[in-house]
Copies of this chain bind each other. A is one copy, B any other.
Amino acid sequence: MHRLRSFVPALDWGRRYDRAAFGADALAAVIVTIMLVPQSLAYAMLAGLPPEAGLYASILPIVLYALFGTSRTLAVGPVAVLSLMTAAAAGRVAEPGSPEFVAAALVLALLSGAMLLAMGVLRLGVLANFLGHPVISGFITASGILIAASQLRHVLGIEAHGHTLPELALSLGANLGDVHGPTLAIGAGALGFLFWVRRGLGPLLRRLGVAERPAAIAVRVGPILAVAGATLAVWMLRLDLAGVRIVGDVPAGLPPLTLPRFAPDLWLALAGSAAAIAVIGFVESVSVAQTLAAKRRERIDPDGELIGLGAANIGAAFTGGFPVTGGFARSVVNFDAGAATQAAGILTALGLLGASLFLTPLLHYLPDAVLAATIIVAVLSLVDLAILRRAWAYSGADFAAVAVTILATLLLGVEPGVAAGVLVSLATHLWRTSRPHVAVVGRVPGTEHFRNVERHHVETDPAVLSVRIDESLYFANAQGLEAHVLALAAERPALRHVVLMCSAVNAVDLSALESLEALVARLRDMGVALHLSEVKGPVMDRLARTDFLAHLTGQVFLSQSEAARALSA
């Protein structure tokens, strides 16, 4: 039973559910629903899918996450970055707007859901850690720019396509003569209003004496006013007849039961993209969930999150949705509105179900330009070019990872961007550890401390060379160390002993062991003995499994000072 409950956290919180929690959850659900209706339509548009797909992607997935996820406050549904990735991936195998495109989005949701589930069952959540902060920051920033650029066409009322910044810029530039006045007026007005809501409404409400939390919620829900106002304006002035693009008929009804198409070729073509969507979605969601959980001293379980998100995506695949994950904005609103348990999610799903049953006629005259404006305002808040400056100040390697990720994402597209960022950060990490800091050390007079001869006034013995290695020894640095020590030894004709001080060596792999053996043999050919000092327990255990210690020409000393005492004597 305990085991089952660990897979289905709902069995745990469900037993202790009470009226107070229900009240809190219901209030949060109403607020989140109001926020989600336009957002869902907008992200469906961004993904290149019909508007109702956005609603569908927010119903069953929320319920499934509520049952299987471990965060009490995470709100699952379509998010900007995954919508962009879906558009890019599905766009490679089908024409946007075609039934094949919709089918590809379902397959992406199914595959990424299955991958998340598998990673959760195999407890491989740790794999997501290979997306370092520079890569994630760079990717989110570049995606924000790409998304904003891709939505400009709706605000301008022109055609433009592309999955990279140069494509989008060229395409926008070529059609700039076709700008549609009324659309631009609505779009620019919505942009202005939404930016004001985000920047100016909060301070205004607080000046008027509204408390912090309601003010924050009002800022999040404010965009509904732009949606309502613009819809009303288009309907009353019949601007759609003047060429303003509108959402149009949204079928009312329950989410449909959709079977993702089983076509091995299609699955294979989309597998890489699904993996990228799974990992990016997971990283984004876990970071939101962890932030919120820590605020209430709650815990989330990354492997449990994989299962919750996997179930949510599989749910999306079977109910006409597309890839989903835990979103930052909606989760913060849910949290601020006081959601107590995952039941808030279930109630939100009921709210959205109601919206898709009864509210769709009201959405008919909603102009695309306003949806695009809500997307642009949302994603521009993700753009953080200051990360470039921060990374530059911190280290060249981190700067390279950020810069390559941003450039590759903007110039080549979302998936090459992530891949390039991961490769650069792995390469710089390996490069750094392959050239460890190695210091010749000597005794600080009158103490048992041994420090770098180049930084401190220390005592050394011409017959004894003590070398401290500030890195675990593994294949990438083992031969370098060997060559380095041999070079140091060749410079010292009076040398009789070399001591490797291993206080920072956390591991020694087989390549490093071979290098150490070669070093022993080559130093022996020079008439020099090799000793070790301050070897850690786990490293010593491993060396003891081999005959290295038997072939060692010197000794293993517990401390460097002991080694110096014994060898200088």
A residues bordering B, Cβ < 8 Å? 126, 128-135, 290-291, 294-295, 297, 299, 302, 390-391, 393-395, 397-398, 401, 425-426, 429-430, 432-437, 470-472, 474-480, 482-483, 486-487, 490, 503-504, 506-507, 509-511, 513-515, 518, 521-522, 525-526, 536, 538, 542, 545-546
A297-B490, A297-B526, A545-B394 in contact; A429/B510 too (CB < 8 A)? no
**Given contacts A294-B486, A297-B526, A522-B294, is CB(A133)–CB(B511) below 8 Å?**
yes
* Partner of A395 from B433, B503, B509, B515 at Cβ < 8 Å: B509
- Residues of B within 8 Å of A513, CB to CB, are 133, 394
Contacting residues, chain B, for A487 (C-beta < 8 A): 299
In the complex, what residue of chain B is closest to A543 when comparing beta carbons?
A: B394
Residue of B nearest to A133 (CB): B511
Determine how close the nearest CB of chain B comes to the CB of A502; give it in whole angstroms.
Answer: 11
A473 CB to closest chain B CB (Å) equals 11
Let me know if A393 and B480 touch, CB within 8 A: no
A510 touching B132 by the CB < 8 A rule? yes
Apart from the given pairs A132-B509, A132-B510, A133-B514, 17 other A-B contacts in the complex at a CB distance below 8 Å: A129-B477, A133-B478, A133-B510, A133-B513, A290-B482, A291-B518, A291-B522, A294-B486, A294-B521, A297-B490, A297-B525, A394-B510, A394-B545, A398-B509, A433-B472, A436-B506, A504-B506
* Contact yes or no, B471 A429, CB < 8 A: no
Known pairs A129-B477, A526-B297; A395 contacts B134 (CB<8 A): no
Quote the shortest CB–CB distance from A137 to chain B (angstroms).
8
Neighbouring B residues of A432 by C-beta, 8 Å: 507
A506/B129 in contact, CB under 8 A: no
Whether B510 lies near A391 (C-beta < 8 A) is yes
Are A397 and B129 also in contact (CB < 8 A) when A429-B474, A474-B429, A525-B297 are? no
**A538 near B437 (CB under 8 angstroms)?**
yes
| 8 nearest A-B pairs in the assembled complex, by CB-CB distance | A132-B475, A294-B522, A133-B511, A398-B510, A132-B511, A133-B514, A470-B506, A129-B479
What residues of chain B lie closer than 8 Å to A126, measured between beta carbons?
A: 434-435, 480
Q: Enumerate 14 A-B pairs (CB-CB under 8 Å) in ascending A order.
A: A126-B435, A133-B475, A133-B510, A134-B510, A290-B483, A294-B486, A297-B490, A299-B487, A395-B542, A425-B475, A426-B430, A429-B475, A429-B509, A471-B472
- How many copies of the polypeptide does the oligomer hold? 2
CA distance A433 to B426 in the complex (A): 12
Chain B residues, CB < 8 A from A471: 472, 506
Distance, CA A546 to CA B522, complexed state (A): 44
- Considering only CB atoms, which chain B residue lies closest to A397 in the complex? B509
> Closest Cβ of chain B: how far from A539's Cβ, in Å?
10
A393, chain B: closest CB distance, angstroms: 6
The complex places the Cα of A391 from the Cα of B470 at a distance, in Å, of 25
- How far is A542 from B393 in the complex, measured between Cα atoms in Å? 9
Look across to chain B and name the residue whose beta carbon is closest to the beta carbon of A523: B294
The answer to whether B130 touches A475, judged by C-beta atoms less than 8 angstroms apart, is: yes
* Cα distance A118–B507 in the bound complex, in angstroms: 33
Residues from chain B with a CB closer than 8 A to the CB of A294 are 486, 521-522, 525-526
CA of A479 to CA of B133, assembled, Å: 10
Q: How many angstroms between the C-alpha atoms of A507 and B435 in the bound complex?
A: 12
CA distance A437 to B129 in the complex (A): 16
User: What is the minimal beta-carbon distance from A513 to any residue of chain B, in angstroms?
Assistant: 7
**Cβ of A139 to closest chain B Cβ, rounded Å:** 13
A401 to B299, CA, bound (A): 37
Chain B residues lying within 8 Å of A507, measured Cβ to Cβ, are 432
Which of A133, A434, A490, A536: most chain B Cβ within 10 A? A133
Q: How far is the CB of A546 from chain B (nearest CB, A)?
A: 6
CA distance A393 to B294 in the complex (A): 43
Instruction: Point out the residues of chain B lying under 8 angstroms from A482, CB to CB.
Output: 290
Task: State in angstroms the CA–CA spacing of A28 and B401 once bound together.
Answer: 52
Q: Determine the residue in chain B with the shortest Cβ distance to A522.
A: B294
Once the chains are docked, how many angstroms separate the CA of A230 from the CA of B162? 70
Known A294-B522, A294-B526, A525-B294; judge A483-B302 contact (CB<8 A). yes
Q: Find chain B residues with CB under 8 A from A536 CB.
A: 470
Residues A134 and B437 in contact in the complex (CB < 8 Å), given A476-B129, A536-B470: no
Partner pick for A506 among B437, B476, B486, CB 8 A cutoff: B437
List the B side residues contacting A511 at CB < 8 Å.
132-134, 398
**Please, which residues of chain B bring their CB within 8 A of the CB of A134?**
475, 510-511
Query: Among A297, A515, A545, which residue has the most Cβ atoms of chain B within 10 A?
Result: A297
Bound-complex Cα distance A445 to B413 (A) = 59
Q: Which residues of B contact A299 (CB under 8 A)?
A: 486-487, 490
Q: Kindly list chain B residues whose C-beta atoms are within 8 Å of the C-beta of A429.
A: 474-476, 509
Which residues of the other chain, B, contact A542 by a CB distance below 8 angstroms?
394-395
Min C-beta distance of A131 to chain B, whole Å: 7
Assembled-state Cα–Cα distance A475/B518 (Å) = 33
Residue on B nearest A422 in the bound complex, by CB: B475
Q: A398-B509, A503-B503 are in contact. Are A434 and B475 (CB under 8 A)?
A: no
Instruction: Evaluate contact between B437 and A132: CB separation under 8 angstroms.
Output: no
Residue numbers in B under 8 Å from A434 (CB-CB) = 126, 129-130
In the bound complex, how far is the Cα of B503 from the Cα of A504, in angstroms?
7
Minimum distance in angstroms from A59 CB to a CB of chain B = 31
